[in-house]
Structure 1
Amino acid sequence: MRYISLKSLSFATRPALAALVLGTGMSGCTLATEHPELGLNIPDKYREQQTRAPDAAVPALEWWRGFRSQELTSLMEDAQTRNLDVAAAIAQIAQADAQVGVSGAALLPTVTGTAMAERVRDPGGAGMSSQFNLGLTGSYMVDFWGKNRASLYAAEESATVARYNREVVTLTTMVTVANTYFQILAAQDQLRIARHDLGAAERILGLIKQQFNAGTASQLDLSQQEALVSTQRASIPPLEVTLRQNIAALAVLVARAPVNFKVLGGSTTQIAVPRVTPGLPSELLNQRPDIRQAEAQLASSNFSVEAARAAFFPQIPLTGQTGFQSAALASLFGPGAWFYTLAANMTQPIFDGFLLESQLKQAKGVQLENLQAYRKAVLSAFADVEKALVALQQFTLQEGLQTKVVTSSRRAFDVAETQLRAGTVNQITVLQTQQTLFTAENTLVQVRLSKLLAVSSLFQALGGGWTPQKALPSLQPSTPANVPS
């Protein structure tokens, strides 16, 4: 960059430059942002909290590794780099950063160059005349009331919102990948159970057919068992739908075509359940990117109110023009061809059809809306943790109880099948033990799935995989680069 000394400028151009510099230095001297009262009561602990270990409250950066599934870890890594929603959120950051530059331009002078060559025929055909002009025009709007600076701060906070939004989208994507993968595992478990139960029901049907042929079983016994076999066979297609649709959904999450995407899967019993503790509610305000996003959005609207309020005050534009003008190109840069003009004026809105007043009311309305959105984000975050804790605790308890139900039901079925072969049990009892076992096994899979979903929900509720250091601080206006304070 080339610097120009003030001494090298002509005496006549110094007032214009001094006015521009003075106006720049006066910019924003009255900016005083107002922050509305948040009015939130932060609880000391969660209702379902069992420990207050704050160190364990922050989930690990790669929290999904706690499930100890290599395939899930690979899918998570692919989603971080390939997911299209995350890519769109990154593009929004670029847009927000560009808007900061657009808003900051109003705080700097503008300089434009002009060049003109003109040839005019005199009236009456007396002759031709030429006119040549080469000059520079500079202008600056003195931001004495801080309107432009407030607009810049609002844009900076909006850029912060975009960064937090990317973290929100990333966290949501990761949790969705985990939940979809768990749905696939549960569907595979249910398919294995359905096929196993179908085989058991067909085996019992074979025994009843033998007894029917021998005259020891009735047509009713045979028809009831045939109905159970058909019911078990009919339960398989819906499970296939669930499995294949979730695989297709998972393919989209990692930005792959479903036709070329495969998932090995496995079983929900192979997934470890990591230990998660919530910590203190006050820590959640910094741990969740959606709360920080709402906070930054509120800060942006605060500055927008200041900009709308400053628009009521006078505007002071400064303009200056200098250059060379001559009727002959050869003498364009001669001593007598140089000219300059300086101008300063002030405009005060008097009546504009209540435009400025309506714009201020609109800005205040947006501010109030963002304030309520921030309050809701905080309260919803507390509720998310509470609901996830309740679900995790109760589904863990139900899993233990349901496991006992399955064990007892399987034992009863085995005994009933043995007695059926010996002809010492009623077929209705066998039918009931089959139905009880089949229902208990499916319920156990659903409980295990619900438990895994509760764990991932708790990670999401605690802002898992994100730390406050990864995003810009909000509610702290900073002096923009290249703008004098």
Structure 2
Amino acid sequence: MNSIQNNLHLKTAKKILSAIGLLAIMTSCMMGPDYSKPDSATAPSYKETDDSKSGNGWKIAQPNEAGMQEKWWEIYHDPDLNQLIDKVNIDNQNIIASEAQYRQATALLTQARAALFPTLTMNGSGNRGTVNGGSNGNLSSVNQTFNANVGASWVPDIWGQVRRNVEASKDTAQASAAQVDALRLSTQATLAQTYFQLRIADMQIKMYDSTIKTYEKSLQITQNQYNAGIVTQLDVAQASTLLESTVALAIDVSLSRAQLEHAIAVLIGQTPSTFSLTPQMLSIDPVTHLVVSPVSKLVADLPDVPVGVPSTLLERRPDIAAAERQMAAANAKIGVATAAFFPTLTISAAGGYQGADLPGLISMPLRYWAIGPAIAQPLFDGGLRIGAYQQAGAVYDQNVALYRQTILAAFQNVEDNLVALRLLQSESKSQASAVKHAQDAVRISENQYKSGIITYLDVATSQAAELSNERILMSLLNRQIAAHVGLITALGGGWDVNQIADK
């Protein structure tokens, strides 16, 4: 008898193992296309790195295959900028919100992975109540039941629907991580450009202060000459007009500086009322009569930027990495939609104890158990699954187009800033020469006016031309440093795609 029971147990075990083996084979199936990164536009080199175009403009770092440091802003050697960007990385509210969004994505990944495992439940209950005796007039009886059980259910991932969903969730989480890095890089660049713009506003204020003092002296001289009967009231009016218009320009620059300071405060997570930035030490060059500052010295010798080749840009831009990961997630969703066309198998099991008395409930005579599979296959859903499949394919196509467009925009960013650095440096040299000629014109006109050869209108015209050319030169300083920061961030700012590989 024992031999027969052993054989039965052996046969049962073999059937179970065979079923498990068959289930393992079935669960290795994955519906939908495996992901393969599509082709995208690229080029062997950047158009604006052609040596024949460089001329006297900004030179590209050699060798240009070298990497860029992660804390790219430190190449400017500005302690104030370093401290501000450190605060941005910690306290900027947009970055904090983006990081919270990334944590949401990782939580969704955890939820998706949970579907790969069985669900276990444990229940206990007790009931006490009366049962009517019926039409024979018997008294109602009191019954009580107690129940304790453990249950389990599992939906084997036969067609890979869960695994594709996990794959999509992981890709989405990686895309979210790259988006955090892209936002952080963009915010760092915005702060750096705003900071340098504020420093150049300080230079403009210094320039206006010096100019206003000169114009005040000119007005005083003209007023004295008018009192002596040498010049007319028109000369005084012209000198006063030039002075007051310059004072108005100085006030406008002060307004811009205040607003830039407010913008920096918000970027570092502070209210404008709690933040201020002290002006740097500035001076007037005795030869050129131009304002000299750390920013003007920086722009005169901008640090090299390792540009590299276009193909490396795909691995160095977090926004490109985010678009690529979103595309991969959309591809996995096609598999999820495909698996929905196939039947679903559910395996359930339950066991426990049930009896009328709580003491002694856990005993062999009161035990019960149940186990069994269930299979479900929708026969008609009005096109619901077909629509979901078509939608998944369209979403993937959309993400492919967005990925390719992101790459094209990235190439444009690099090329735009390369050509800006190359031509703005040449433009600045020409503009500096124009300022020198304008200064010469002012000196000559003032001497001729004192000699009575020309009227004050000619002096005012040459002085206005000088101020206008100096303002343009200041503007070019701002555009150059903005393009330099823009190039660094367009190249990824030292970022690398491996930073999200394990997320």
For residues 69-468 of structure 1, what are the structure 2 equivalents within 5 Å?
Answer: 69-124=78-133, 125-266=139-280, 267=293, 268-272=295-299, 273-468=302-497
Kept in 2, the 8 Å contact 1:57–1:280? The answer is no
Amino acid at match of 1:318: I
- Decide whether the 8 Å contact of 2:171 with 2:328 is kept in 1: yes
| Bigger mean CA offset, 41-50 vs 432-441 | 41-50
The residue aligned with 1:27 is: 27
CA distance in 2, matches of 1:275, 1:232: 37
The verdict on how the C-alpha distance between 1:17 and 1:127 changes in structure 2, with shifts beyond 3 A counting, is: farther
**TM, length-normalised to structure 2:** 0.87
Q: Is residue 325–residue 338 contact of structure 1 (8 Å, CA) maintained in 2?
A: yes
SS of 2:315's partner is helix
Aligned-residue offset at 1:288: 0.7
Quote the offset at 1:119 in angstroms: 1.6
Residues 279, 53 of structure 1: CA spacing in aligned structure 2 closer, same or farther, 3 A cutoff?
farther
Deviation at 1:374, TM superposition (A): 0.3
- Distance in 1 (CA, whole Å) between partners of 2:410 and 2:267 is 25
CA distance in structure 2 between the aligned counterparts of 1:37 and 1:269, rounded to whole angstroms: 45
2:42 aligns to what? Answer: 42
**Alpha carbon RMSD of aligned pairs, Å?**
2.4
1:194-238 deviations in Å (ceiling 9; x for gaps): 222222222222222222223332232222222111211111221
Task: Name the SS of the counterpart of 1:330 in structure 2.
Answer: coil
Q: Secondary structure at the match of 2:359?
A: helix
Does residue 67 (structure 1) correspond to residue 76 (structure 2)? The answer is yes
Deviation at 1:297, TM superposition (A): 0.5
Cα shift at 1:17: 10
Mapped to 1, the partners of 2:87 and 2:440 lie a distance apart of: 44
C-alpha distance 56-261 of structure 1, shift in aligned 2 (>3 A): farther
Distance, in Å, in 2 between the alignment partners of 1:453 and 1:52 is 18
Give the Cα–Cα distance (whole angstroms) in 1 for the partners of residues 236 and 470 of structure 2.
24
1:323-380: per-residue Cα shift (whole Å, max 9, x none)?
Answer: 1111222342222111111121111121112111111122222111111110011111
What is the CA-CA distance between 1:391 and the residue it aligns to? 0.8
Deviations 1:112-159 (A, max 9, x none): 001111123112243111111111110001111111111111001111
- Of 455-464 and 328-337, more deviation after overlay is shown by 328-337
Alignment correspondent of 1:483: none
Q: Distance in 2 between matches of 1:123 and 1:404?
A: 111
TM-score, normalised to structure 1, is 0.90
TM-superposed CA distance for 1:82, in Å, is: 2.2
Aligned positions, number = 465
Q: Hey, what does 1:478 align to over in structure 2?
A: none
CA distance in 1, matches of 2:446, 2:113: 81
What do the CA deviations read for 1:141-190 (whole angstroms, capped 9, x no partner)? 11111111111110011110111111101101110110010110121111
Q: Which runs of 5+ in 1 are unaligned?
A: 1-9, 475-485
Q: CA deviation at 1:401?
A: 1.0
Contact kept, 8 Å, 1:68 with 1:271, in 2: the verdict is no
Structure 2 unaligned residues grouped into runs of 5+: 1-8, 52-59, 134-138, 281-292
Partner SS for 2:421: helix
SS in 2 for 1:107: coil
**Distance in 2 between residues matched to 1:21 and 1:233, nearest whole Å:** 87
